C-alpha cells in the first residue's frame, strides 16, 4: 500500500521532494483529492495517465498558488481577471489559451492550445504548491471511470501503489469537482458544473453564461466532444518502412527501419525524423508525443509513419491518440 501520511512541515517537504523528483503525490484540495505531478515534467505527467489507467490523454488541470503564477502559464483576458478576483482561490477551473513559451508540458493540454488552470483554496494544497514551487498537474486521484475520492482511504483503495505518497487531511469540504469555465473563446461557457454556478459567474461578468455539459471522459453528443489535436497530414501506425516524402516518428532503435526504395531511416533529414524515445521508454515517449507530432507536421513532410508502440501501460494512451490522428480526427 502507498504511504499515507498526516500533514506536517516535514511530510510537506517529503511530498515536495517526491514531486520535484518526478513522482506522484495524492493531495487534498477543497473539492476532491488530486493525483499530483510536476506539470513542467512531461515524464512525471505521463505517470498520471498510467496510474489512472486512462485509455487516452484527457487534458489535465494545472494548480498554481495565485493569479501571478497563473499569468506565467496562460493568457489571462479581462473576463479571466474578473472571475479570478471573485472566485480564486476556490473550486473553479478556467480554460485559457496557453501563454507563449509556456513551460508546462504539452501533455497537460493533450496537445491543445489551451490549458485548464485553478488556484485551490485548501490550506494544504496552498502550502504544498508553495513548498514545491512548481505548478502541479492533478486530475482526481482515482482510477479512470470510478468516482472521485474525498478521503485518503478512497485514494489508497483506488490507486494502490501507483501513487508514491498520500497526504492525508481528512475529508474534502466540497466533495464535488471544480466548476470548469471555458474562457478561451468569444462566449464564456461552463463545461462542468460545480459548486460555483454559471449564474454566479454571469453576475460577475455582466452577461449570461450558459452550460455546455458533456461527460468529457465519455463524450455523448457531437457538440459536447472535447477537441483533440491531430496533424494536418496523414499518419499511419505500425510502419515497417518510410515512404518517399514521409517523416518518421520512431520509437526505440531505428536500426531495422528502411526507406522504401532503399537507404536507412537514420539518413532522414532533421525535418523528417523524430524519436519518441531512443531506448524505448513509454513515459518519455508520452512526454514527447504532441511536440514531435507537431514538429513532423511542419509543411515539409507529406505524411507521418509511426513505428510500432507496445500496447501496455501508458502505451495504451499513446496508441489511442495515434489512432485518432490516423483517422484524421480532431475529436
Nearer residue to Mg ion within complex by CB, 314 or 325: 314
CA within 13 Å, CB half, 215: 6
Per CB under 6 A, 82 contacts ligand TXA? no
Q: Which does 116 bind (CB under 5 to 8 A by kind): Mg ion, ligand TXA, none?
A: ligand TXA
Contacts of 63 (CB under 8 A, 6+ apart): 29, 34, 36, 117, 118, 119, 120, 125, 129, 135, 136, 137, 138
Q: Say if strands 179-182 and 165-168 run parallel, antiparallel, or are unpaired.
A: unpaired
Instruction: Tell me the backbone φ, ψ of residue 115, rounded to 5 degrees.
Output: -140, 140
Q: Say if strands 258-259 and 241-242 run parallel, antiparallel, or are unpaired.
A: parallel
Q: Near ligand TXA by CB under 6 A, which window of 1-9, 106-114, 247-255, 304-312? A: 106-114
Q: Which does 82 bind (CB under 5 to 8 A by kind): ligand TXA, Mg ion, none?
A: none
Please identify which residue in the block is written with the cell numbers 499513446: 318
Nine cell digits for residue 321: 491518440
Per CB under 6 A, 59 contacts ligand TXA? yes
Q: Near ligand TXA by CB under 6 A, which window of 13-21, 175-183, 242-250, 265-273? A: 175-183
Out of 3, 20, 216, 291, point to the residue binding ligand TXA (CB under 6 A): 216
Rounded CA-CA distance 176/179 in Å is 9
Q: Which does 46 bind (CB under 5 to 8 A by kind): Mg ion, ligand TXA, none?
A: none
Give the count of residues interacting with ligand TXA (CB under 6 A): 26
Out of 54, 192, 228, 321, point to the residue binding ligand TXA (CB under 6 A): 192
Per CB under 6 A, 301 contacts ligand TXA? no
To Mg ion, the closest distance from the beta carbon of 82 in angstroms equals 27
With CA atoms as reference, report the closest residue to 208 among 223, 224, 226, 187. 187
Q: Are 144 and 314 in contact (CB under 8 A)?
A: no
Q: Are 321 and 226 in contact (CB under 8 A)?
A: no
Per CB under 6 A, 138 contacts ligand TXA? yes
Out of 12, 18, 32, 104, point to the residue binding ligand TXA (CB under 6 A): 32
- Which positions lie near ligand TXA, rule CB under 6 A? 29, 31-32, 34, 58-61, 93, 95, 109, 112, 114-116, 118, 138-140, 177-178, 180, 191-192, 216, 226
Amino acid at each position: 500500500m502507498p504511504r499515507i501520511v498526516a500533514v506536517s512541515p516535514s511530510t510537506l517537504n517529503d511530498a515536495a521532494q517526491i514531486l520535484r523528483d518526478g513522482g506522484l503525490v495524492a493531495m487534498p484540495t477543497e473539492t476532491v483529492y488530486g493525483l499530483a505531478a510536476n506539470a513542467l515534467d512531461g515524464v512525471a505527467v505521463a505517470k498520471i495517465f498510467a496510474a489512472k489507467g486512462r485509455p487516452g490523454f484527457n487534458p489535465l488541470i494545472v494548480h498554481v498558488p495565485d493569479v501571478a503564477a497563473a499569468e506565467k502559464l496562460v493568457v489571462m483576458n479581462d473576463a479571466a481577471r474578473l472571475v479570478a478576483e471573485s472566485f480564486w482561490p476556490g473550486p473553479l477551473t478556467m480554460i485559457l489559451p496557453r501563454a507563449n513559451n509556456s513551460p508546462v508540458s504539452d501533455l497537460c493540454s493533450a496537445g491543445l492550445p489551451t490549458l485548464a488552470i485553478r488556484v485551490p483554496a485548501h490550506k494544504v494544497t496552498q502550502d504544498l504548491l508553495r513548498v514545491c514551487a512548481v505548478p502541479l498537474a492533478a486530475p482526481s486521484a482515482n482510477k479512470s471511470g470510478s468516482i472521485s475520492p474525498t478521503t485518503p482511504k478512497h485514494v489508497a483503495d483506488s490507486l494502490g501503489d501507483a501513487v508514491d505518497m498520500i497526504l492525508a487531511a481528512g475529508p474534502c469540504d466540497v466533495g464535488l469537482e471544480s466548476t470548469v469555465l471555458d474562457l478561451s473563446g468569444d462566449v464564456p461557457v461552463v463545461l462542468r458544473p460545480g459548486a460555483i454556478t454559471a449564474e454566479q459567474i454571469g453576475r460577475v461578468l455582466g452577461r449570461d453564461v450558459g452550460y455546455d455539459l458533456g461527460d468529457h471522459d465519455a463524450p455523448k453528443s457531437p457538440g459536447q466532444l472535447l477537441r483533440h489535436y491531430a496533424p494536418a497530414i496523414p499518419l499511419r501506425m505500425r510502419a515497417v518502412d518510410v515512404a518517399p516524402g514521409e517523416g518518421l516518428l520512431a520509437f526505440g532503435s531505428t536500426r531495422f527501419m528502411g526507406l522504401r526504395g532503399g537507404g536507412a531511416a537514420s539518413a532522414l533529414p532533421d525535418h523528417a525524423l523524430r524519436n519518441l524515445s531512443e531506448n524505448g521508454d513509454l513515459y518519455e515517449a508520452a512526454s514527447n508525443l504532441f511536440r514531435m507530432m507537431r514538429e513532423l507536421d511542419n509543411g515539409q513532410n507529406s505524411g507521418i509513419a509511426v513505428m510500432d508502440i507496445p500496447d501496455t501501460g501508458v502505451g495504451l494512451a499513446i496508441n489511442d491518440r495515434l489512432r485518432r490522428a490516423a483517422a484524421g480526427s480532431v475529436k
